[in-house]
Amino acid sequence: MYKLAIAGTGYVGLVAGATFAEVGHHVTCVDVDEDKVEMMRAGISPIYEEGLESLMQRNVELGRLSYSTDFKAAYQDADAIFIGVGTPERADGSADLTHIASVARQIAESIEKDCLVIVKSTVPVGTNDKVEQFIRDFLVNDVHFEVASNPEFLAQGSAVHDTMYADRFIIGTESEWARNLLTDIYTSFHRPIVNVSRRSAEMIKYASNDFLALKISYINDIANLCELVGADIQDVAEGMSYDARIGDKFLNAGIGYGGSCFPKDTKALMSLARENGYELRTVQSAVEVNEQQKTKLFKEANKRLITFNGLKVAVLGLTFKPGTDDLREAASLVNVPLLLEQGADIYAFDPSGAVRFSTMYPEGRFGIGAITYASNVEQALLDAHVCFIFTEWDEVKLTTPERYAELMRTPLVYDGRNIYSVLEMEKAGVEYHSVGRFS
Ligand code: UGA
């Protein structure tokens, strides 16, 4: 078992740290944020992720996991250091590598024994070469180090499971020493390991995320056409899914993808392509379809109702997907301002509490519109003229069609996640609009 250090305690770093400890390694998670480190030391996970907090607590008790702001102490005698800090999007769509650079510099100034540095953050192809050069430029002690690429494929809401039972671990290295060490670190997970070059590993991450974004935009494009020709996208997707070459995942039509990954990684890959004199037209189309998809139901409802002024509008779900409190690139962030602009009286419900949303839009008036936070689905629906579903939380799914009919003033529902059967909504007397289905 190895002594590992992890730089950054966001989704990537913290989940990696806790799961490495779980399979027996000795891990120190490093973060510059003292409050965050104190919080983790008190046994609290700074992110909402099923199973993470108990995994953290168990491994701290077993003495295999610790948290620190002291990067020097953590890095100096580590066998391997994983970099899991953020790579946010710059205004031009490229990835901002400032955090990676500052960690690389700390590593260069701290390591006192031979060590493998592994980049887990999503970085443009070629970044690992730069990180290696950067560390070499600032290296203080005479030690051997190498840089490896090991992209992360976990999804928010199922991060621990996605790591413990990963479909594969991608290991991108340039030497046998690095390949053997990193393979050894991952052996205890007993999952498939794919060994490739560093640049291929970096590309696999973007190519995978962008392919999934393409898949979603493709099914949304077909869904929009289904509406026009009288076909049902769920039947179409099911029929397609039996072809093993297509598969049954990521074929749910709706109001598009959000989150911190697909929107950022599609733009980053297009930006990389442009820098190299190439246009990634497939990815460009996926991004365009997604932008349109986000406001599709708002536009339909706007046509049907003419104006939202003075209407009570129930909004169910604010986060970009269920099981997380993350709002990044969520459809709600585009639709709520549009509704407020037209004077809607919004009653929003999200089981995560969506604290950040209520900070951006505190309860009260916004121009001619207003927003109130409901503590459950029924409170949001009561006396509403229209309802929008943006996230398929269980609390929403468990609400029966009859409850919409009973509670709403006019049972008119725009479902961006295709939760309900069109027939059952009709039977309950609800005017129901969803995506890619006949209604
Ligand atoms: C995504 C990938 O799924 C992970 O493999 C990857 O590691 C991660 O990005 C990352 O790069 O860090 P995540 O963004 O957490 O994970 O969430 P997903 O479950 O992929 O969902 C993304 C968005 O696509 C959500 O808004 C979801 O509602 C939407 N989606 C997903 C659809 O609209 N239809 C589908 O069929 C599937």
Q: What is the pTM of this model?
A: 0.93
Section 405-415 average pLDDT: 98
178 in Cβ contact with 197 (< 8 Å): no
Express each pLDDT in 57-95 by its tens digit. Answer: 999 999 999 999 999 999 999 999 999 999 888 888 777
C-beta 254 within 6 A of ligand 1? yes
Express each pLDDT in 194-245 by its tens digit. Answer: 999 999 999 999 999 999 999 999 999 999 999 999 999 999 999 999 999 9
The pLDDT-based confidence of 381 (bands split at 50, 70, 90) is: very high
Residue 239: exposure state from Cβ atoms within 10 A (0-12, 13-18, ≥19): exposed
Do 115 and 183 lie in a common domain? yes
Residue 261 is among the residues annotated as catalytic for this protein = yes
ipTM above 0.95, yes or no: yes
Q: How far apart are CA 189 and CA 10, in angstroms?
A: 21
Residue 120's pLDDT is 95
Do 273 and 300 lie in a common domain? no
C-beta 261 within 6 A of ligand 1? yes
**Do the domain assignments include residue 439?**
no
Residue 89's pLDDT is 80
- Expressed in angstroms and rounded, the spacing between residue 69 Cα and the centre of ligand 1 is 31
The pLDDT-based confidence of 358 (bands split at 50, 70, 90) is: confident
Section 264-269 average pLDDT: 93
Of 149, 179, 196, which residue is a domain's last?
Answer: 196
Do 171 and 231 lie in a common domain? no
Do 177 and 214 lie in a common domain? no
- Expressed in angstroms and rounded, the spacing between residue 262 Cα and the centre of ligand 1 is 7
C-beta 216 within 6 A of ligand 1? yes
Residue 157's pLDDT is 85
**Do the domain assignments include residue 438?**
no
- Residue bearing the CA closest to ligand 1, atom 1: 155
- pLDDT reading at 123 higher than 80: yes
Residue 408's pLDDT is 98
Do 173 and 311 lie in a common domain? no
Express each pLDDT in 127-147 by its tens digit. Answer: 999 999 999 999 999 999 999
Residue 57's pLDDT is 96
Section 39-68 average pLDDT: 94
**Do the domain assignments include residue 289?**
no
Express each pLDDT in 166-184 by its tens digit. Answer: 999 999 999 999 999 999 9
Of 284, 312, 330, which residue is a domain's last?
Answer: 284
- Residue bearing the CA closest to ligand 1, atom 27: 257
Do 182 and 37 lie in a common domain? yes
- Residue bearing the CA closest to ligand 1, atom 36: 250
* CATH code of the domain in which 101 resides: 3.40.50.720
| Active-site entry in 29, 115, 226, 261 | 261
Do 345 and 389 lie in a common domain? yes
**Do the domain assignments include residue 217?**
yes
Express each pLDDT in 12-25 by its tens digit. Answer: 999 999 999 999 99
- Expressed in angstroms and rounded, the spacing between residue 391 Cα and the centre of ligand 1 is 13
C-beta 251 within 6 A of ligand 1? yes
Two tokens at 346? Answer: 């919004």
* CATH code of the domain in which 258 resides: 1.10.1040.10
Residue 27's pLDDT is 98
Q: What's the domain count of the chain?
A: 3
Two tokens at 412? Answer: 């008119």
Do 249 and 116 lie in a common domain? no
- What amino acid occupies position 413? V
Section 253-259 average pLDDT: 97
**Do the domain assignments include residue 84?**
yes
The parent domain of residue 368 ranges over 295-433
Express each pLDDT in 303-352 by its tens digit. Answer: 999 999 999 999 999 999 998 888 999 999 999 999 999 999 999 999 98
**Do the domain assignments include residue 30?**
yes
CA torsion, ordered 292, 294, 295, 296, to nearest 10 deg = 70
**Do the domain assignments include residue 54?**
yes
261 in Cβ contact with 209 (< 8 Å): yes
- Expressed in angstroms and rounded, the spacing between residue 43 Cα and the centre of ligand 1 is 28
Do 154 and 21 lie in a common domain? yes
18 in Cβ contact with 59 (< 8 Å): yes
**Higher-scoring residue by pLDDT: 95, 292:** 292
C-beta 250 within 6 A of ligand 1? yes
Do 271 and 348 lie in a common domain? no
C-beta 8 within 6 A of ligand 1? no
Of 284, 317, 341, which residue is a domain's last?
Answer: 284
- Expressed in angstroms and rounded, the spacing between residue 49 Cα and the centre of ligand 1 is 15
Ligand 1 atom nearest 159 alpha carbon: 15
pLDDT, averaged across the chain:
95
Do 40 and 167 lie in a common domain? yes
Residue 50's pLDDT is 86
Residue 361's pLDDT is 92
HSE (side-chain half, CA atoms, 13 Å) at 135: 28
Do 270 and 149 lie in a common domain? no
Q: How far apart are CA 119 and CA 123, in angstroms?
A: 8
The pLDDT-based confidence of 439 (bands split at 50, 70, 90) is: low
**Do the domain assignments include residue 290?**
no
Residue 92's pLDDT is 83
Tell me how far CA of residue 199 lies from CA of 135, 170, 186, 288, in angstroms: 18, 11, 20, 28
Residue 48's pLDDT is 79
pLDDT > 90 fraction of the chain, expressed in percent and rounded:
92
Look at residues 136, 84, 82 and name the one whose alpha carbon lies nearest to residue 105.
Answer: 136
